């Protein structure tokens, strides 16, 4: 008790604070989400995500080499699919010569040590903007799982290190593990989006991929709340994460990040596998907008939020700030 104990002794200067710091952050804690588009020498900034671009394959490869040199060791990749390739089956998702498959091969050829985790969900390929196949006005869970297995196996064939199912279909981790193993890809891991909430923080991401639910001539769900989680729920997140681990997930994810740090800690305490946290597009965009107006110190807020995510229990942080943070840390 005071005066024998004085907490300020351990805060006297930065040298002492660094000695007793409980949480540390490094570029190897980050995964960089990347958006890939058709074309050559193509780079287009996403208006709602300043500093984040859709890139053609050639420029994507150059960016991957650059961030690897900064110490970032994982990328989570997404593709912008041409409208003519979209339908209600998602069949373009497992085209061996599709944009995603080309991207995986190109990244692994150029930077073999970069861990590539392609997104596994049908929304970029869906004419309805949903993560699954529409049947009778709803998402057909089991039919969607069959499509996701084909998609994941095609990613493994292209050279993916992990597949990252973000769809939130019931039982998809088990089906993916069985499908990958049956195809001989026992070494390919699964990073499951286990606690993915139906959040309004995803808006800029959907702008990037044009993957928001759409109006349609047939009856379709107007949002993703029948498969993504209710943000009022906590215990459900633990249950979903534990189920995914039982089904074969090597890592689990909580999404979004900063607004869900209580869930991160709950999941971290419950599961015996690494926990990934997605610091999502809306969280990124809010910092960018406030900093542009001079309301917040961009770099200080960026680093504080990343440290808080790590402190909450993240083993890996998927963040659009990965490159900026790594550059700042290198200085």
Residues catalogued as catalytic: 196, 255
**Of 118, 68, 127, nearest in space to 98 by CA:** 118
Tokens 């060791």 correspond to what residue?
A: 73
Question: Which residues, 6+ apart, have CB-to-CB distance to 263 below 8 Å?
Answer: 195, 234, 237, 254
Residue 324 among known ligand-binding residues: no
**Of 110, 109, 42, 26, nearest in space to 79 by CA:** 42
Q: Which residues of 32-47 are buried (b: 16+ CB within 10 A; e: fewer)?
A: bbbbbbeeeebeeebe
Whether the CB-CB separation of 162 and 115 falls below 8 Å is answered with yes
Distance, in Å, from the CA atom of 108 to the CA atom of 89, rounded to the nearest integer, reads: 28
Residue 183's alpha-carbon distances to 107, 119, 316, in angstroms, are: 22, 19, 28
Residues marked as binding? 240
Residues marked as binding for Mg(2+)? 240
């Amino acid at each position: 008790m005071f005066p024998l104990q004085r907490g300020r002794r351990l805060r006297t200067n930065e040298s002492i604070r660094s000695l007793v710091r409980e949480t540390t952050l490094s570029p190897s804690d980050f995964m960089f989400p990347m958006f890939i588009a058709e074309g050559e020498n193509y780079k287009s900034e996403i208006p709602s995500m300043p500093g984040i671009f859709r890139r053609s394959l050639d420029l994507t490869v150059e960016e991957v080499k650059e961030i690897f040199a900064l110490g970032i060791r994982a990328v989570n990749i997404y593709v912008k699919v041409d409208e003519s390739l979209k339908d209600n089956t998602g069949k373009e998702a497992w085209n061996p010569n599709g944009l995603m498959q080309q991207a995986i091969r190109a990244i692994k050829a150029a930077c073999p040590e970069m861990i590539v985790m392609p997104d596994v969900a049908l929304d970029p390929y869906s004419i309805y903007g949903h993560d699954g196949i529409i049947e009778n006005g709803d998402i057909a869970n089991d039919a969607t799982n069959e499509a996701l297995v084909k998609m994941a196996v095609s990613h493994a064939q292209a050279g993916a290190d992990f597949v990252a199912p973000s769809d939130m279909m019931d039982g998809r981790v088990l089906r993916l593990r069985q499908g990958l193993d049956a195809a001989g890809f026992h070494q390919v891991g699964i990073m499951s989006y286990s606690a993915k909430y139906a959040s309004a923080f995803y808006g800029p991401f959907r702008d990037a991929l044009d993957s928001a639910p759409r109006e349609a001539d047939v009856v379709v769900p107007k949002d993703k709340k029948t498969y993504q989680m209710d943000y009022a729920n906590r215990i459900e997140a633990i249950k979903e994460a534990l189920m995914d681990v039982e089904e074969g997930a090597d890592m689990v994810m909580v999404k979004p990040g900063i607004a869900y740090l209580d869930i991160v800690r709950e999941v971290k305490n419950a599961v015996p596998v690494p926990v990934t946290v997605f610091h999502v597009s809306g969280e990124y965009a809010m910092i960018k907008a406030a900093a542009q107006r001079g309301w917040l110190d961009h770099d200080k807020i960026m680093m504080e939020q990343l440290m808080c995510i790590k402190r909450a229990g993240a083993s890996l942080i998927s963040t659009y700030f990965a490159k900026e943070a790594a550059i700042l840390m290198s200085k």
